[in-house]
Amino acid sequence: MSAKQEEIRIGFYVCHCGHNIGKTVNCPEVAKFVATLPHVVHSVDYKYMCSDPGQELIRLDIQQHKLNRVVVASCSPLLHEHTFRGACAAAGLNPYYFQMVNIREHDSWVHADNPVEATEKAKALAQAAVERVAQHKALEVKRVPIHQDVLIVGGGIAGIHAALTIANSFENTPDSGKPPRKVYLVEREPSIGGHMAKFDKTFPTLDCAACILTPKMSEVGAHENIELMTYSEVAKMDGYVGNYTVTVRHKPRYIIADLCTGCQDCISHCVVQPEKSPKLMAANEFNEGLDKRRPVYIPFPQATPQIVLIDPMVCLNFRKGVLTDKCKKSCVTACGEKKAIDFTQKETTEELKVGTIIVATGFKAFDSRRKPEYGYGVYPNVYTALEVERLVNASGPTGGHVVLRDGRTKPKTIGIIHCVGSRDERTHKWCSRVCCMYSLKLAHLLHEHTGAEMYNFYIDIRTPGKGYEEFYGKLLEEGVNFIRGRVGEVTDWAMTPEEEGKLVIRVEDTLAGMVRRIPVDMVVLATGLEPQADAQEVRRIFNMSCGTEGFFLERHPKLAPVNTFTDGIFIAGACQGPRDIPDTVAQAGAAAAEAMALISRGFVEQEPNTAFILDAECSGCKSCIPLCPYTAILFDEARKKAYINEALCKGCGTCVASCPSGSIVQNLFEDDQVFSEIHGVLAYD
Partner 1 sequence: MKYSYFPGCSLKGLGRAYEESLLPVMAHLGVEVQELPDWNCCGATAYMSVDEGRASVLAARNLAIAQRMGLSVMAPCSACYLVLNKTQHNLAEYPAMRQTVDRALGAVNLTLKGEVPVRHPLDVLTNDIGLEAIRQKVTHPLRLMGEVTEKAADGTLVRRTGVRPLKVVPYYGCQIVRPYATFDDKNDPTTMDRLIEALGAEVVTDYRLKTKCCGGSLTGTVPDAGLRLVYILLKEALKHGADCIVTVCPLCQYNLDAFHAQIASRYEPVRIPTVYFSQLMGLAFGLPARELGLHRGVVPMPALAGPEAVAAAQPAVA
Q: How far is the CB of 375 from partner 1 (least distance, A)?
A: 8
**Which residues on neighbouring strands pair with residue 318, listed in sequence order?**
323
Q: Which of 60, 110, 378, 512 binds partner 1 (CB under 8 A)?
A: 378
The smaller minimum CB distance to partner 1, of residues 495 and 627, is found at 495
Closest CA to 199 of 417, 392, 467: 392
Stretch that binds partner 1, among 242-250, 263-271, 373-381, 408-416 (CB under 8 A): 373-381
The smaller minimum CB distance to partner 1, of residues 227 and 492, is found at 492
> Whats the size of the chain, residue-wise?
685
Query: What is the distance, to the nearest Å, from the Cα of residue 541 to the centroid of all Cα atoms in its chain?
Result: 12
Q: How far is the CB of 368 from partner 1 (least distance, A)?
A: 13
- Strands (E) located in 492-602: 503-509, 514-520, 522-527, 529-531, 569-571
Q: How far is the CB of 510 from partner 1 (least distance, A)?
A: 22
Q: For 478, what's the count of Cα atoms within 13 Å in the CB-facing half-sphere?
A: 23
The smaller minimum CB distance to partner 1, of residues 141 and 378, is found at 378
Q: How far is the CB of 492 from partner 1 (least distance, A)?
A: 6
Instruction: Quote the CA–CA distance of 305 and 295 in Å, as a whole number.
Output: 18
Closest CA to 254 of 303, 194, 307: 307
Residues 6+ apart with CB under 8 A from 322: 312
Say whether 46 sits in a helix, a strand or coil.
strand
The smaller minimum CB distance to partner 1, of residues 492 and 508, is found at 492
**What distances in angstroms separate CA 640 from CA 36, 461, 620, 634, 659, one per listed residue?**
50, 68, 5, 11, 15
Q: How far is the CB of 184 from partner 1 (least distance, A)?
A: 46
Stretch that binds partner 1, among 149-157, 367-375, 455-463, 649-657 (CB under 8 A): 367-375
The smaller minimum CB distance to partner 1, of residues 494 and 590, is found at 494
Task: Report the site for partner 1 in 451-510 (rule: CB under 8 A).
Answer: 491-495
Q: How far is the CB of 415 from partner 1 (least distance, A)?
A: 17
Is residue 372 at the binding interface for partner 1, with CB under 8 A as the rule? yes
The smaller minimum CB distance to partner 1, of residues 371 and 423, is found at 371
The smaller minimum CB distance to partner 1, of residues 325 and 493, is found at 493
**What distances in angstroms separate CA 21 from CA 27, 173, 220, 439, one per listed residue?**
8, 57, 54, 51
Instruction: Quote the CA–CA distance of 633 and 613 in Å, as a whole number.
Output: 10
The smaller minimum CB distance to partner 1, of residues 224 and 373, is found at 373
Instruction: Quote the CA–CA distance of 145 and 601 in Å, as a whole number.
Output: 9
Instruction: Quote the CA–CA distance of 313 and 272 in Å, as a whole number.
Output: 13
**Degrees, nearest 5: CA angle 340-253-324:** 85
Q: How far is the CB of 486 from partner 1 (least distance, A)?
A: 16
Instruction: Quote the CA–CA distance of 440 and 202 in Å, as a whole number.
Output: 11
The smaller minimum CB distance to partner 1, of residues 35 and 378, is found at 378
The smaller minimum CB distance to partner 1, of residues 246 and 503, is found at 503
Residues 525, 376: contact at Cβ < 8 Å? yes
**What distances in angstroms separate CA 500 from CA 349, 390, 494, 508, 591, one per listed residue?**
58, 28, 5, 21, 54
Q: How far is the CB of 518 from partner 1 (least distance, A)?
A: 17
The smaller minimum CB distance to partner 1, of residues 503 and 524, is found at 503
Stretch that binds partner 1, among 197-205, 342-350, 370-378, 621-629 (CB under 8 A): 370-378
Is residue 424 at the binding interface for partner 1, with CB under 8 A as the rule? no
Q: Which of 117, 238, 351, 373 binds partner 1 (CB under 8 A)?
A: 373
Stretch that binds partner 1, among 174-182, 240-248, 372-380, 384-392 (CB under 8 A): 372-380
Q: How far is the CB of 519 from partner 1 (least distance, A)?
A: 14
Q: How far is the CB of 504 from partner 1 (least distance, A)?
A: 10
Instruction: Determine if residue 501 is left, alpha or beta; phi over 0 gives left, psi from -120 to 50 gives alpha, anything else beta.
Output: left
Residues 327, 315: contact at Cβ < 8 Å? yes
Stretch that binds partner 1, among 56-64, 156-164, 251-259, 368-376 (CB under 8 A): 368-376
Q: How far is the CB of 490 from partner 1 (least distance, A)?
A: 10
Q: How far is the CB of 70 from partner 1 (least distance, A)?
A: 59
Map residues 321-360 to x or -, x wherever contact with partner 1 holds by CB under 8 A.
Answer: ----------------------------------------
Instruction: Quote the CA–CA distance of 9 and 142 in Å, as a whole number.
Output: 27
Stretch that binds partner 1, among 116-124, 134-142, 369-377, 555-563 (CB under 8 A): 369-377
Cβ density class 646-667: b for 16+ within 10 Å, e for less: bbbbbbbebbbeebeeebbbbb
The smaller minimum CB distance to partner 1, of residues 464 and 493, is found at 493
Q: How far is the CB of 440 from partner 1 (least distance, A)?
A: 30
Query: What is the distance, to the nearest Å, from the Cα of residue 409 to the centroid of all Cα atoms in its chain?
Result: 43
Is residue 380 at the binding interface for partner 1, with CB under 8 A as the rule? no
The smaller minimum CB distance to partner 1, of residues 167 and 504, is found at 504
* Rg of the chain (C-alpha set): 32
Instruction: Quote the CA–CA distance of 175 and 120 in Å, as a whole number.
Output: 67
Q: How far is the CB of 411 from partner 1 (least distance, A)?
A: 20
The smaller minimum CB distance to partner 1, of residues 481 and 491, is found at 491
Binding residues for partner 1, how many (CB under 8 A)?
Answer: 9
Using CB under 8 A as the criterion, which residues of the chain lie in contact with partner 1 when the complex forms?
372-373, 375, 378, 491-495
